A and B are shown apart, each in its own frame.
Chain A
Amino acid sequence: MTLLPYIAVRFEAEGSILDRALRFLSSLVDGQIDSAELIVAAAVLLGVSCGLLGAFIILRKQSMMGDAIGHAVLPGVCVGFLFAGSRSTPAMLLGALVAGLLAAALIGVLQRTTNLKSGECMGVVFTGFYGIGVVLLKWIQNHGLKQQAGLDKFLFGQIVGINEIEVICMAVMTFVVVLGVIVFWRKLKLTSFDELFAFSVGVPVKAMHYLLTGLLTVAIVVSIQAVGVVLVAAMLVTPAATAYLLTDRLHRMVMLSAMFGAAAGVLGAVVSAASRDLPTGSLIVLAASMLFGIVFLVSPRHGVLPRVYRVWQRRQKTQAENLIRTLFLILEKRSNNDRRFGVHDVAGIRQESPAVVRRLWKLAAARGWVDPKSRDPMIITDDGLEAATRVARNHRLWELFLTQEAKLASDHVHADAEYIEHILPPDVLRRLEQMLDHPTADPHGRPIPAATARGAV
């Protein structure tokens, strides 16, 4: 608690991250800082290229390949630096590309010539490459080469200070990725889904694999400057996984994945530019994770919250139905058509407290099944009677089915019917009626009410 005022003071002194983020954004609009556009452009480019390929990578269950190549490019960056003798980005990116492809080829050779599984092959190769990369990096730093400043940003990523040439490099490479995906769309789709069949219709399956690995390496090289080699795999997996939660069509998944990638890139880059000393890579990846978290919680079909809400809604409906079914059973025994029910009487029959019954009354009143003005005694409405008849009818039909068709003893069927009565779909109900030849009595000898029993009881 004592920390909070301190943090607040600090933020006021330096201007909060939010403040600075807003300033960064306004500078983007005003065009005051040239690099602002560059930063956003770079973030979008890396998000799109990683997102596009990520969709294919996770569908082909090659998520680990992203991690492997991501780490394996590091020695290439260092060698590129040594060759150029300065911090020349094109040289370093070229080095990264070569190292990535070399690692991929080596993994392929191991897979073909040994009995090691692909996981082991990748593990052996990429850790080895990464080890070389770290050694080279330290060697360069220790030898005090003047221009080495900023070389270690390739580990964790740094987007601030990105220059025009670098962004142009990224744009060209992203273009290659997009073009590759468009031109080979059907072949990629086919080989990702069914390799055997793809081969049988003459699609060059191996070539497609190499193509995808090549494009993957390109996408990684696009991203390493801003994201860093350590976390770049997350940009291949997380946006694609987020998209997969939202759709079951490939083209939508690929588009969404690219969009999530770009959104995460921009979000992370803005915060990074505003915070100055936080590594961009982690922020971009955190943004991607956050988007995933949001989608995981709220996506309509697979989301946690909608599912919880649906279950909660169904439970409420079930409870309301249980109440009016009790009213229906009471009404059945009455000789007159009196639709009034005392709360305490109902509570006694349901073996619940009056408070619980009043809560159920609320749920039923919300559905128009009991008169909302009638608290005690409560009065069942026509709609309520119809719903209750339907539930009772479902219950008895199902009991009859279980005893007659499934040959269960009549004392085995009530609990099942208690559940089924709330969820029986209309078309199944019709088939059930036909199968049982439109019966009129349940296994306990009680009448099965007619389907259109509105107010007829």
Chain B
Amino acid sequence: MTATSASQTIPPAPLAAAPPALEVHDLTVSYQSKPVLWNVDLAIPAGKLVGIIGPNGAGKSTLIKAIMGVLPISSGWVQVFGQPVERQRRRIAYVPQRESVDWTFPVTAMDVVLMGRYGMIPWYRRIGRADRAKAMEALGKVGMGAYATRQISNLSGGQQQRVFLARALAQESDVYLMDEPFAGVDAATESAIVKLLQDLREAGKTVIVVNHDLQTAEHYFDMLILLNMRLVAFGPTEQVFTPALLQKTYGGRLTILADVADAVAQAERGLSVPAPSGRSGMDTGTQPPAGL
């Protein structure tokens, strides 16, 4: 396995049949030459609501960021409707974690949503009335129409999350990747977001959501991606949401991967591989969650 040799495999020519909305092939991602995600294969059909679950440090956000091209890929490839992501930016929308930005930034909720239109407006053109209408419509869909002119630090956490979702809606994409949209939001916002996700699916969109909560994951999603540094399982929720697979995802036995990742990182920096140290239970993914 040449995890970090950056040997990008050439994707096959698109087949005649309709390609999946999102295809991930043998994807390996590394942070500073330390692999954090190994050989992931996915083919997500269009029109599905898909959850990504796994313990802390499993690489859930990493997977999304690598798909978006935000993080460099060590090996493998990603295609959106049979084309590389770089050529399909208009068809794929990304909702980063709310904590990833500074909400004291001097812009209004409307400004943030309009950013969803930036990709379609060349620099010499002003933001048009149509773009504003789309942005306003998106704000309305998440129930934030009345807050359009609010500076974003004056919004609650749930409202900020809705603004982020509205920005993705304003992109009018076909595939949506959302990183922890339910993190730190109130119950009302959570149900509003769930409704929104279902509406998107009804409209034929593909929605992929990183989710932390196992209890809700079972009910929210059509399909689940079980992740712990590698793909444990991917399939319809009723088939993969099983005690055996969840135990496999959350129940450890994968620390060997973390150890090998360290070894890879050391080797890449030209250092000798250290003698095996007794890894403690602090490692991510060794503790099964309560209630399983």
Contact = CB atoms under 8 A, between A and B. Distances in A.
Contact of A196 (B86, B96, B123): B96
B171 interface: yes
Contacts of B116: 201
Given A184-B123, A249-B107, A249-B108, A190 B115 contact: yes
A202 B93 CA distance: 11
A248 B109 CA distance: 12
B123 A202 contact: no
Interface string B94-123: 101000111001111001100110110101
B101 to A, nearest CB: 5
A247 interface: yes
B65 to A, nearest CB: 7
B89 A200 contact: yes
Given A194-B101, A196-B96, A197-B94, A203 B118 contact: yes
Contacts of B102: 61, 193
A248 B151 contact: yes
A196 B106 contact: no
Contacts of B153: 248
Contacts of A203: 118-119
A248 B151 CA distance: 7
B212 interface: no
B69 A244 contact: no
Nearest to B32: A115
B148 interface: no
Chain A CB count within 10 A is highest, among B70, B94, B106, for: B106
A59 B103 CA distance: 11
A248 B123 CA distance: 23
Interface residues on chain B, size class: 20 to 34
A250 interface: yes
A190 B106 contact: no
A193 B107 CA distance: 9
Contacts of A201: 89, 116, 118-119, 171
A252 B151 CA distance: 13
B119 A183 contact: no
Given A193-B105, A193-B115, A249-B107, A199 B123 contact: no
Contacts of B94: 196-197, 200
B69 A199 contact: yes
B100 A194 contact: yes
A183 B123 contact: yes
Interface residues of A, number: 26
B31 to A, nearest CB: 12
A202 B105 contact: no
Interface string A175-198: 000000001111101101110110
A197 B111 CA distance: 14
Nearest to B177: A200
Interface in B183-207: none
A247 B106 contact: yes
Nearest to A193: B105
Given A194-B101, A196-B70, A201-B118, A186 B123 contact: yes
A237 interface: no
B121 A186 contact: yes
Contacts of B101: 193-194
A227 interface: no
A253 B101 CA distance: 19
B167 interface: yes
Contact of B106 (A185, A187, A200, A250): A250
A59 B106 contact: yes
Contacts of B232: none
B68 A200 contact: yes
B107 A194 contact: no
Interface in A194-216: 194, 196-197, 199-203
A194 B100 CA distance: 8
A194 B115 contact: yes
A59 B118 contact: no
Nearest to B108: A249
B89 A186 contact: no
Contacts of B106: 59, 244, 247-250, 252-253
A247 B107 CA distance: 10
Given A196-B96, A202-B86, A186 B118 contact: yes
A250 B112 CA distance: 12
Contacts of A61: 102
Contacts of B121: 186
5 contacts: A59-B106, A193-B101, A200-B69, A202-B119, A250-B106
List the 10 shortest-distance A-B pairs measured between CB atoms, nearest first: A200-B94, A201-B119, A248-B151, A196-B96, A202-B89, A248-B106, A200-B68, A194-B101, A199-B70, A193-B105
Given A186-B123, A197-B94, A200-B69, 6 more contacts: A61-B102, A193-B101, A199-B70, A248-B153, A249-B151, A253-B106
